[in-house]
Amino acid sequence: MTDNSDPLIRRRTVLLGTGATAAALTVGAAGTHKPATAGHETGRTAPVAATAVCTLTKELTEGPYYLDRALVRADLTEGKPGIALKLALTVVDDGTCAPLNRALVELWHSDALGEYSGFVGNNGHQEPDNGTFLRGGVLTGSDGIARITTIYPGWYRGRCIHIHVKVHTNVTLTSDGSFSGGQELHTGQLFVDEALTTVVARVSPYSTNTVPRTTLAQDGIYGNGGAAAGLMTVTGSTTAGYTGSLTLGIDQG
């Protein structure tokens, strides 16, 4: 199923940006790659972006699977099977390049079979659906970094592998483990280089996904936009897990 408009899901259109050189360096976005080492893997990793700058990039759709009740938590997995993916996302002001403290970075994505919590079955696979797996977010620290643990996403019909992201500021944490209020400044998507996904797609449970896979080059939303459109720097292996990083430049108005 493609990311398209759905009248039942509210929609916001904002911008996702790259960040400052200094901020990118803090999460190793411009550093030396650790090669992949597992079995038949080639050691290829997602390409390091060119020197990051504090500019905004293209708008990217929220998609049809957003649920407005994200939990504030650092681990989104809830026991879902898949290859570990640890993310370090740095949020900076696009004008000053200064890191944003206490910005809430919210993520949601499909599981290894391409199913979203709250919408299980839309990609042709039946499994328990609690409406919360692989959804949530955390506040950035004083360094502007949000650190989140999840799994490598699967794919669904018509889209390449991706992770949805929103950035909120001035939120209030609530007693039920969620958040309220604040300003939603950015909506975008995070992507992974096709060389890594090709390897991941051979490994169970991803290999049991019955839906044909759309590649990064075929995806109409990514549009071959590189880091400016959300392509993360990702290193690791299918056995040890992956780490991903990207700097998001935020327009605070």
Q: What is the DSSP string of 75-107?
A: B--TT--S-EEEEEEEEEETTT-PBPTT-EEEE
pLDDT of residue 53: 53
Report yes or no: 110 and 153 within 8 Å, Cβ to Cβ.
yes
What does the pLDDT read at residue 56? 54
3-state secondary structure of 214: coil
Q: Please give the model's pTM, rounded to 2 decimal places.
A: 0.80
β-strand partners of 85: 150, 242
Please tell me the distance from the alpha carbon of residue 95 to that of residue 251, in angstroms, as a whole number: 7
Q: Lowest mean pLDDT: which of 39-43, 46-50, 247-251?
A: 46-50
Among 39-43, 62-66, 82-86, 200-204, where is mean pLDDT lowest? Answer: 39-43
Question: At 85, is the pLDDT very low, low, confident or very high (cuts 50, 70, 90)?
Answer: very high
pLDDT number for residue 121: 82
Asked if 82 and 241 touch (Cβ cutoff 8 Å), the reply is: no
> CA-to-CA distance for 141 and 154, rounded, in angstroms?
29
Is it the case that residue 47 has pLDDT exceeding 80?
no
Q: Which has the higher per-residue pLDDT, 32 or 111? A: 111
| 52: pLDDT strictly greater than 60 | no
pLDDT tens for 135-179 read 999 999 999 999 999 999 999 999 999 999 999 999 999 999 999
Residue 11 has pLDDT above 70, yes or no: no
State the number of CA atoms in the 13 A half-sphere of 118 facing the CB.
17
Q: At 244, list the tokens.
A: 């991903």
State the average pLDDT for the chain.
80
Neighbours of 205 (CB within 10 A): 16
- Mind listing the pLDDT tens digit for each residue in 88-145? 999 988 888 889 999 999 999 999 999 999 998 878 788 898 999 999 999 999 999 9
- How many Å apart are CA 111 and CA 98, to the nearest integer? 34
Instruction: With a cut of 70, say whether residue 223 has pLDDT above it.
Output: yes
Q: Give me 37's structure tokens.
A: 């080492």
What are 200's two structure tokens? 């991941």
Rounded-to-integer distance, Cα 70 and Cα 215, Å: 28
Look at residue 126 in the predicted model and tell me its pLDDT.
85
